[in-house]
Structures are given as C-alpha cells and as structure tokens.
Chain A
C-alpha cells in the first residue's frame, strides 16, 4: 500500500536508481504485509489438541445384533455401524452398477470376510443432515431433510444427494472389534 503512489510520480522513461529504490521499498513492504497475514489465517485451522483428539477409536461389535445398528462419534462425525441381515447384503450385491448414480460395488465398501458389517459416515452428501437408518425404500437410509435415499450399502439411490455415504478408514482388530481412524 505504501508503494502504490511511488511509481507514478516518476516522469523519466528510463529506469533510474531512484526508481529502483522506490520499487524495492514497495516490494519489501508488500512482502512483509503478506507474510504478516499468514499467522492470522493459519490460526483458524484445527489446533494441535483438536488434531490429537481425532486419534483412532476402537468399537466393540458384540452388542450389535443382526439387523441392528449403532452410531458412534469419531472426530465429531456420526459413524453408523450396521449389522446387516442376509437380505440386506443380498440386495446390496444384486443391484446392477449401471443403476447407481455413484457406482461402487458393495464389496468395495465392506471388508472381506465381514460382509454383514457396514461402516459409513452418517452425513448426507447433499447438505450434511444425518440420514435415518432402516428407512426409505432401499432398506438402507433415508435423509429427512430433502429426501435422499441410500441403500443397504449406503449408496445413493434417489434424491438430491450426489454421492454415496463415505466409508471411514477402519479395520478389524478381531472378529468382534474394529478400529476407526
């Protein structure tokens, strides 16, 4: 800002030592001002304790009976863990990929050997509401906000949401325990 007027006061067409001094001063001041802005922006990012609190969590699956689900929180996000029935798995696997707005197989979205378990982040990909489990016409999730319907694999089937419910990073530590994160 300090540099702005400077260049215009120069009348000679040839660059002079004076020009150089003015431009250098203006440039250094501008660089300083830009650098000074950085801490004020960086402070808005999650702080170190928030990041540390987002560490992986372990969830015990034994209390979840077939056909039931639980909701746990990881990094402030609701995670659905659903113990699917045979019928739900079947439905999820029999649908043709071409019929899906966001094509993905059920195999890609679950872990091999643990087919009945569906773990998805329960945030509607439309505008962030929490879909309700075991509702809607696809045996999966129904978002009450604007009517998006997800199937039993958490894939978008109908409504304004563009994408499937995302699968968080997780792995099975044992047959009855998963680690999310």
Chain B
C-alpha cells in the first residue's frame, strides 16, 4: 500500500498471478518489506493486539450465533443451553464476553498511546479520525451485544440507552419508538439488535482496513515523534515488528485467559443471570465498565438534553483533536508541561469511570461535574493553550539517535506500564465499588472446595446438597436449566446413570397430547428438567404470599454483594468469585425470630439479616435435623446450608471443573509460548541494536 512494490515473484505461477492480481505484492509491501521505525516500544503492539481481538470476537461471535435464538422467550435459555450443553460452549461464550472487555482494554491503551505520542498530528489526522469512528462503532456493537442474553441488565441497559434519544427535541419520542419497533423494548428490539450486532463487526473490519491503509500511507509515528529520514531509522516489518507483535499478543492472551478461565464473571453483572423482567428494575443500573466515564458525564449535567449532548460531545471532541492541539512537537516526551496534563487527563478519565459506577447523589454529583469540566477543559482549553505557550525540549535529530538514549526510555516505559496496570485495575473495580456504596455488612466469606485455580466440587457434598434440594427446596423451587442426566455427568455429583434414572423416574412429568389428544402424566426420564411444582407463575405467586419462588438454576451466579475498594483488586489476583455461594449460605442461616427494634415487618414476611430490605416471604426453609444424612455428616443447619449451596453452585456452573482444568493447561502453554517468542524476538533484534 506504500508505492510500487519491490516484490519479485519467483515461481512462474506467482509471476502469472502477479500480472493479473498483484495480491502477493500487496502483502509483501504492506506486511513484509514495509519499513517501521526501529524505536517503537511495546505500546505499539496494541494495534496488532486489536486486530487479533477483532478476529477473536468475529469468529467466536459467528459460532455463538449458531446456537443463539433471538426471541424474548428463548434468548436467555438458549445462551444457557449453549453454555451447558454445546461442546466447549462455556469456553466460546466466556471468550466472547470477556473478549469484548479485552477489546476495550486494548483500544483504550491504543488511544492513550496515540494521545501521548501525538499520533493524531499531521499528516495522520485521517488515520486518527478513522480510529475514532472505529471506537464509536465498537461502543454500539458492545452495547447491542450486551442486550442479546436478555438478562435483567440487558433489558434495562437497552431501555436506558435507547431512551437517551428521547432527549432530542420534538422528534425524540418518535425516534425511540422507531428504535424499539414497538412501544417498549421487546421482541422486535431484540431481533434488530441481533441483526445489527452481527453486521457492525464487519463494518468495523472495513474501517480497520481503511485505518491500516491510511497508516501505511503516512507511516507509523514513533516514540520520538520525528519522521524516519534514512534507511538506518527503520527496520522491515517482517521479521522485526511481526515478532515483537507476536510476543505482545501472546502476553495479552495470558491476561485474556485469566478472565476466560478463572474470572469469567468478574467484569459482568450478577443481575444479568436473572432473566429480563419488564416489571422490575434492578436497584443499580450500571453499564459495562467501558462506558462508565461517559455515563458519569451524562449524569453530571442536570438537564436531559444537555446531558446527552455532553456525553456524545465527549467522544465527538476527539475528532477535532488534530486541530485543537497545534503544537509542532508530537511526542509528549519533549513536552514536559503537556505530559503532566496528560497524566492528569488519564486520572480524570479514571475518576469519571469510578464516578459512573457510583449512585448519582450528593458528593458524587459534585465530583462528577468537576471532572466533567476537567475532561472538556483538557481538549478545549489546555491543549490549545499549551500548544501556543509551552517551551519544548530539543528533539533528537533522527530515530537512530533516539535509539542511543535507550536507557532513559526503559525507565519511563516501566513507570507508565505500572501506572497503566494500576489504572486498569482501578477502572475494573469501578462497578464493584459502586455497589459497595450501598453500605452494610457483607456475608462472611466461607471456604469452598470449588474456589481458586484448582478448585473442584466435593462429590459427597453435592450428593448431600441434592438430597436437601429434593426433600426441601424442590417443594417450591424449580431447576429448569438442569436435566436429570446432569446428575450423572462428569464434574457433578457423580451419581451413576442408574441412580439418575431412578431419581428421574420418581418425578411425574406432564406430557402429551397423546393420540386421543389428552395430556397425561408419565415417569420422568433423563432428558427431563427439574420442573416447578406449580403449574404456572400465578399459581406459584398465590401459594407463596405474592412472591414467586425463583428458579434456582442460576441462583449462585445471580446473587452477589459488593466487595468494595481495595478488596476487589485483591479479588482479581486471588480469583475470588464466591459472592453468590456466600450469600446463599448466609441467607439460609440469617433468619431472626424477632426483628431488631424499630423494624416493622409486613404481615406474612420473615426477618432475614441478609435479604435486601430484610423482609422475605420465604419462611425459614430448613432447620437442624430435618434431613437425614447417610454418610454421618452433622445434621445441622450450617452443614445443610453449606451442602445445598455447593449443590446450587454446581447447578449454576456444571462445567466449573473443566473450565479450571483447561485453564491451567492453556496458561502453561501460553507462558511457554511467550517465553519462546521473547527469546526469538531478542535474537532477531540483536543485530539491530
């Protein structure tokens, strides 16, 4: 893509092809001979990492679409069937869900790199603008993808975000109706979001081609910000940049896999394991972490229209960056003052992210306004002003000269890497700490056999837990996503197939119609689910004082509580994910006969220390000695609570053991690969330095 190709085809076939379709020449000039500045640091590998993530998202997404059903009644279950029943479905789903977050991690680093080294300046304005367009498309794609599983956060996220458009004067409401295809978010909305979520990644891929094209016309910027002048300033793309990128990608994959295999729910919201319910809004609507800074800007403006304008303005302003910052010197390395403001801007974004996850009240609103001002001030006041008044440091004469000052560069790279890691973890914690602001005590952390990187289920415990479910819970609660066959599948309670068949046969399943057109009851089979004891939701509600006993299939993943700062950072490293089990265990033991002084308990409710709001319709379900254990385990409430909770954790994630086992193998492999790539890269680069 950069001038006539120097490619010389060797074989007669390639010569023949080259005269008709010079594709080999194109690849050669773009990805092999293409000169790259020799002083690029590892921040420049994020371009390759982003290409990789786009490919991962497209490939896994196409596969998920093979198993997904875009219908309001079926979407949620189809995702769960994918995770539970499709071969490696859990892996593909985790890859796609965590992959979205990784994509944004990489894009934010990529953008900040561009900002720091002035990569948006002439002649790279169009390159930068194309990048901003890609970022906007990514936001739209990510949002629509989050709607597809049709959980509570999906539904309410869709409602809130589409309602942004209602702020447009005069035509706002009509536009929102148009987006929905109805009078509320519903089946037409889900269908079109699915269609567009499938389409947009290919649009992104198209703009990426333009982005790379523009890059290859102007050439890459570099940490010194001076253009390459002689041959000595550059190295051929292959093998030098290719290997460096490969090493960067491999390291990034280690980070990515940490989420896929060990923390799949760390970045998600527990509420999204509850099927969408248009009648109940979750107490905290929080967007995905990557939208949080903009969400904070939206909320800090006390006017609906202006809030929406400010939010979109925060992204649109990026398009004008090449003209807002008119300084001739590109790299902030030689702009000491601008460099300080840059880090101030990074801090501003992080603060906004943190505030976006906080409730919009009191101190947070005030802080939100202050940092919104800082955000816009950076682009509209600081950069234009600095570019006129700042005294810059002397630039190196050439890239080759810059390479000689390498020692200094390593220092700053390490420092900024550290800052970025810290910043990243802080941002990830935003969502978590948001919920921490609800205050109050957290349930005690118990030790679970399935916790940590090597965790496995305790078979005997699962069998005891199942006994409790069968004798106690199943009187009111279903396990719709579980089939009797699961009881005998590997990684579970290890019942034999015959035991599972016998358990199934005890149940009576409504089937039909038969030849005479009548419904009939038959004994359960392995492929039947643990259905609800009530014929329909209304009956369940009527029999339980107005509250429907929730289906328990996903309970252990659908319940959570805040961990707070800085605990959530440690959680990332210790792989703590057991909020759900801790909560369920505590709830079962949290009943108090007499509510505390001053608490007025509604009729037909019970006081529970851990239930949100403390007033629960479920009577204390189990007490000491109620279920007989055959294996001599203590027949006490704490033991019962722990056993049934472990069983519910398995019910929520039957492939947990497979996930952790494969995770270990993949991690070991990736670390070996990264090591090899590092040494290969060093060998190859040794003749450059």
Contact = CB atoms under 8 A, between A and B. Distances in A.
A48 B669 contact: no
B680 A47 contact: no
A52 B88 contact: no
A55 B87 contact: no
B415 interface: no
Interface of A: 2, 5-6, 9, 18, 21-22, 24-25, 28-29, 32, 35, 38-40, 42-45, 47-50, 52-53, 55, 63
B527 interface: yes
A9 B239 contact: yes
B63 interface: yes
Interface stretch (B78-86, B96-104, B314-322): B78-86
B504 to A, nearest CB: 11
Nearest to B60: A40
Given A2-B242, A2-B246, A32-B673, A43 B526 contact: no
A43 to B, nearest CB: 5
19 contacts: A2-B242, A2-B246, A5-B239, A21-B679, A25-B673, A28-B669, A28-B673, A32-B669, A32-B673, A39-B91, A39-B92, A43-B63, A43-B67, A43-B89, A44-B66, A45-B87, A47-B81, A48-B485, A49-B527
A32 to B, nearest CB: 6
Contacts of A52: 483, 485, 526-527
Interface string B308-348: 00000000000000000000000000000000000000000
Given A43-B66, A47-B81, A25 B88 contact: no
A39 B67 CA distance: 14
A2 B527 CA distance: 46
A38 B662 CA distance: 13
Contact of B238 (A5, A35, A42, A63): A5
B483 A28 contact: no
A109 to B, nearest CB: 27
A25 B527 contact: no
**Number of contact residues on B: which range applies?**
20 to 34
B303 to A, nearest CB: 49
A2 B239 CA distance: 9
B74 interface: no
Q: Which 8 A-B pairs have the closest CB atoms?
A: A39-B88, A47-B85, A52-B527, A48-B85, A42-B87, A25-B676, A47-B86, A49-B85
Contact of A6 (B63, B66, B239): B239
Given A2-B677, A25-B679, 11 more contacts: A29-B677, A32-B670, A38-B88, A40-B59, A43-B86, A44-B66, A47-B67, A48-B489, A49-B81, A55-B525, A55-B527
Contacts of B91: 39
A25 B485 contact: no
Contacts of A49: 81, 85, 483, 527
A45 B66 CA distance: 12
Given A28-B672, A40-B59, A53 B527 contact: yes
A140 B194 CA distance: 49
A43 B87 contact: yes
A52 to B, nearest CB: 4
Contacts of A21: 676, 679-680, 683
A40 B683 CA distance: 34
Interface of B: 59, 63, 66-67, 81, 84-89, 91-92, 238-239, 242-243, 246, 483, 485, 489, 515, 525-527, 669-670, 672-673, 676-677, 679-680, 683
A50 B89 CA distance: 14
B683 A18 contact: yes
Contacts of B526: 52, 55
A25 B89 CA distance: 30
B664 to A, nearest CB: 14
Nearest to A4: B238
A50 B527 CA distance: 9
A22 B681 CA distance: 10
A48 B84 contact: yes
A35 to B, nearest CB: 8
Given A21-B680, A21-B683, A49-B81, A39 B483 contact: no
B534 to A, nearest CB: 24
A155 B93 CA distance: 47
Contact of B673 (A29, A48, A55): A29
Contacts of B59: 40
Nearest to A48: B85
Contacts of A40: 59, 63, 92
A43 B88 CA distance: 6
B10 to A, nearest CB: 12
B567 to A, nearest CB: 34
A159 B15 CA distance: 51
Contacts of A2: 242-243, 246, 677
Contacts of A6: 239, 680
A63 B525 CA distance: 25
A47 B485 CA distance: 13
Contacts of B66: 43-44
A45 B89 CA distance: 11
Contacts of B683: 18, 21-22
B150 to A, nearest CB: 19
Nearest to B665: A35
B87 A63 contact: no
A63 B84 CA distance: 40
A6 to B, nearest CB: 7
B87 A39 contact: yes
A155 B418 CA distance: 75
Contacts of A45: 87
Contacts of A43: 63, 66-67, 86-89, 92
A21 B246 CA distance: 15
A21 B683 CA distance: 9
A42 B90 CA distance: 13
A29 B525 CA distance: 46
A25 B85 contact: no
Nearest to B242: A2
A40 B89 CA distance: 9
B627 to A, nearest CB: 29
Nearest to A17: B683
Nearest to A24: B676
Contacts of B525: 55
Contacts of A35: 669
